[in-house]
A = this chain, B = another copy of it.
Amino acid sequence: MKKFFLLGVSQLSLLFLFAQKEGDEAMIAKFKEEGLQHSQVMQHAFYLTDVSGPRLTASPGFMNAAQWAKGKLESWGLKNVKIESWGEFGKGWQQERCYVAMTKPYYVPFVAQPKAWTGSTPGNKTMNADVVLIKATDSAGLLQYAGKLKDKIVMLWSNDTLKNGFKADAARYTDEELDKMAKAEPQQPGQQGNRFQGNPSLRQTFQARMAFTRALNNFYLQEGPALVLSSSRGNEGTIFVQSGGQYAKDAPEAPATVVLSSDDYLRVQRLANAGIPVQIEADVRTKFLTKDLNGYNVIGEIPGTDPKLKDQVVMLGGHLDSWHSGTGATDNAAGCAVMMEAIRLLKASGFQPRRTIRIALWGGEEEGLFGSRNYVKMHVGDPATMQLQPLQSKISAYYNLDNGTGKIRGVYLQGNEQVRPIFAKWLEPFKDLGASTLTISNTGSTDHVSFDAVGVPGFQFIQDEIEYDTRTHHSNMDTYDHLVPDDLKQAATIVATFVYNTSQRDEMMPRKELPKPREGRQGF
């Protein structure tokens, strides 16, 4: 009797399952109702940002968020939820105090934050020193400063000027821009908008600048200044802050290095350049963390229920790690919150997926897509050799969201023309929400390329930029308040639909030709 009853439920499920076809209107209406009217995406974002804090790879903030996400996914009934190591990353790091102010010719507190993996000012207390302005553009020019920087506060001459804000910080794609994307010609395989293409002098300039940066960093390592001031393209209190040191296990510790708001930096520079003595006091304390050198991803599943398809997988993801001066709200708590919300919408709809649905929240993206690349290398295939594992043929598609808080305007087809009619149909219910553009173009710099590199269809959505490039991307202003709730709700609803459709369609998603091994490159 009990058994009969169970069988009965199972049969009912099965009936329900077969009613849930790709493109099912009732199901999409459910996603819209729950996703747009009863969204929890901002609550997820709150826990990922405000509560967890900055999520630099291998930092306590990252682990806070990973633990919270794991718990949340489990609370929704996901299976095989785990925080999975993808191998050795290196040292964790966090700031523990950052105070920088000018004390001469008068007092002004600065907007400043340390670059990741840089050290502390000496003495574990507030120190005060003269500013030395370095005017050099190559390593030969640095020689005149040898022996003169010890215990000083140093800064490099900057040619930046501050621009008044005649252009709005935030923007959405115009119809013209979307139309141009839709009409784009196919790019060469692997081509992802190399910025130096057809411009060798730009490449040369870039390489010279990189060489000088390396020379300068080595010079600082030798000379031992108390603090390095660094400028930022941001202004008005917005600073863009990434890494200034090395996270490798045995790497030397870079001197304390803080990024100043350009308003502050240029003021100090003008004063020093006019021969007016500038003194700065600072108390910068950072901590390198060596207890666990591993990097991690968070993985969880809604198991498939169709006996023939359940070992096939639909994947979706964003990266959980962030830079540290904000809380990585748009880069990429937004993506993680949306992907988690999409999972919640799928669970809330009560449907049983035919294929297994797997969410991945990656670590180490900011340092080189490490989380997704190593996941792919461990479980899917190695793009260096193109030795593939069985899972490679079973992941129908991977969907990624990592271009900020903006709503979805369409999909980058990543050169896969065969998916165009499929996605076109899937986007139809979302035309009124602004999502209808399909571009054959590739986009790069985020985790879908790890899958694309081994022949698994990997897609990043086209998103409105909002303030991504101007204010939030890698800045201290990448915080919860810069998220656009309605946009995230729309995105979660569309992602849920895409994952649903991919799970329920009879065939796997069509694939491009298998890439060639990346000869001469180890791994990625």
A interface with B by C-beta (< 8 Å): 46, 50-54, 60-61, 64, 94-99, 101, 105-109, 111-113, 161-162, 164-171, 235-239, 261-263, 266-267, 270-271, 274, 276, 283, 327, 466-467, 470-471, 476-477, 479-482, 484
B267 pairs with A106, CB closer than 8 A? no
Closest to A481 in B: B162
Closest to A160 in B: B481
A318 to B112, CA, bound (A): 33
User: 15 interchain pairs (CB within 8 A)?
Assistant: A50-B267, A51-B276, A53-B105, A97-B101, A97-B107, A111-B237, A164-B170, A165-B168, A165-B471, A166-B169, A236-B236, A236-B477, A237-B237, A237-B477, A267-B479
A53 pairs with B101, CB closer than 8 A? no
| Chain B hits for A480, CB < 8 A | 266-267, 270
| Chain B hits for A170, CB < 8 A | 164-166
A113 to B276, CA, bound (A): 24
| Chain B hits for A261, CB < 8 A | 237
Q: A165-B467, A262-B481 are in contact. List 9 more A-B contacts (CB 8 A).
A: A46-B270, A94-B106, A109-B112, A164-B170, A166-B168, A166-B171, A236-B237, A237-B238, A267-B327
A473 to B96, CA, bound (A): 33
A263 pairs with B477, CB closer than 8 A? yes
| Chain B hits for A263, CB < 8 A | 477, 479, 481-482
B111 pairs with A482, CB closer than 8 A? no
A96 pairs with B105, CB closer than 8 A? no
B50 pairs with A270, CB closer than 8 A? yes
A162 vs chain B, min Cβ distance (A): 4
A467 to B164, CA, bound (A): 7
B106 pairs with A61, CB closer than 8 A? yes
B99 pairs with A109, CB closer than 8 A? yes
| Chain B hits for A95, CB < 8 A | 107, 109
| Chain B hits for A60, CB < 8 A | 106
| Chain B hits for A327, CB < 8 A | 267
B107 pairs with A271, CB closer than 8 A? no
| Chain B hits for A266, CB < 8 A | 480-481
Indicate the member of A52, A167, A267 with the most B CB atoms within 10 Å: A267
Across chains A and B, which 3 residue pairs bring their CB atoms closest together, nearest first? A237-B237, A165-B169, A53-B106
Indicate the member of A54, A111, A262 with the most B CB atoms within 10 Å: A111
| Chain B hits for A466, CB < 8 A | 164
A372 to B50, CA, bound (A): 48
Q: In the complex where A53-B106, A105-B51, A107-B95 touch, is A235 in contact with B481 (Cβ < 8 A)? A: yes
A105 to B165, CA, bound (A): 35
| Chain B hits for A107, CB < 8 A | 53, 94-97
A260 vs chain B, min Cβ distance (A): 11
A334 vs chain B, min Cβ distance (A): 13
* Contact among B61, B101, B112 for A98, CB-based, below 8 A: B101
| Chain B hits for A111, CB < 8 A | 111, 237
| Chain B hits for A237, CB < 8 A | 111, 236-239, 261, 476-477
A248 to B109, CA, bound (A): 26
Indicate the member of A51, A98, A165 with the most B CB atoms within 10 Å: A165
A107 to B93, CA, bound (A): 12
A164 to B484, CA, bound (A): 8
A313 vs chain B, min Cβ distance (A): 35
Closest to A480 in B: B267
A305 to B477, CA, bound (A): 59
A471 vs chain B, min Cβ distance (A): 6
Q: In the complex where A107-B94, A109-B99, A237-B236 touch, is A481 in contact with B53 (Cβ < 8 A)? A: no
| Chain B hits for A112, CB < 8 A | 109
Closest to A168 in B: B168
B161 pairs with A481, CB closer than 8 A? yes
| Chain B hits for A476, CB < 8 A | 237
Closest to A276 in B: B51
A236 to B51, CA, bound (A): 20
A228 vs chain B, min Cβ distance (A): 17
B101 pairs with A109, CB closer than 8 A? no
A477 to B64, CA, bound (A): 35
| Chain B hits for A484, CB < 8 A | 164
| Chain B hits for A51, CB < 8 A | 105, 271, 274, 276
Closest to A166 in B: B170
A296 vs chain B, min Cβ distance (A): 18
A292 vs chain B, min Cβ distance (A): 18
A266 to B46, CA, bound (A): 12
